């Protein structure tokens, strides 16, 4: 997707673009298995299967290209995690039971209790403000500054220019005009 998006933007800016693929097929992480791996009419996904809600820029491209109506909610149930240092398989999360012995619930316990302490031993570099966060919470904390910068760019009023300077915490950079994506 990143190569196609880059080619799309460069073409819009007036450049002549040729997109090359390093492998024998197009698609990057996206790979659908069909015949002969599956019975006729059936298929399975062997790569990227979903687009998360927080992939804001990709959602903008999907809208622009008229592909957003083909999306559907994705819920993967029965997610399991096995970490050799922990020694047993854990269910990733059970949103209906905050007392269940799940990976996320053990993270929320901040290393208190034998099971949580055992899990936290595998993550010795967590800071105090990271302890107690789920995997999604840790990811959100890590990417929040980038997301806020991005949202700041796209929420600015439209201008005639495709690019404009921005000033954020003393840094300067370039924002694409959201209206032109």
pLDDT in tens, 52-92: 777 778 888 888 888 888 776 655 566 778 888 898 988 88
| 165 three-class SS | strand
Place 3 in a pLDDT band, splitting at 50, 70 and 90: confident
Name, in order, each residue with C-beta under 8 angstroms of 93's C-beta and a sequence gap of 6 or more.
79, 102, 103, 104, 105, 134
- Nearest alpha-carbon partner for 102 in 112, 89, 93: 93
* pLDDT value of residue 169: 40
Average pLDDT over residues 41-59: 74
């Amino acid at each position: 997707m990143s190569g196609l998006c880059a080619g799309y933007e460069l073409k819009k800016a007036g450049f002549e673009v040729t997109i090359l693929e390093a492998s024998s097929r197009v698609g990057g992480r996206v790979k659908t298995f069909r015949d002969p791996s599956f019975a006729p009419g059936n298929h399975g996904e062997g790569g990227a299967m979903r687009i998360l809600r927080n992939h804001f820029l990709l959602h903008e491209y999907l809208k622009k290209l008229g592909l957003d109506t083909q999306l559907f909610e994705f819920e993967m149930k029965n997610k399991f995690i096995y970490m050799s240092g922990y020694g047993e398989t854990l269910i990733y999360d059970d949103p209906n039971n905050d007392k269940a012995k799940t990976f996320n619930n053990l993270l929320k316990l901040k290393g208190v209790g034998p099971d949580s302490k055992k899990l936290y031993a595998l993550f010795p570099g967590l800071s105090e403000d990271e302890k107690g966060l789920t995997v999604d919470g840790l990811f959100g904390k890590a990417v929040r500054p980038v997301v806020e910068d991005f949202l700041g760019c796209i929420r600015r009023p439209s201008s005639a220019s495709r690019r404009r300077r921005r000033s954020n915490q003393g840094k300067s950079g370039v924002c694409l005009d959201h209206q032109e994506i």
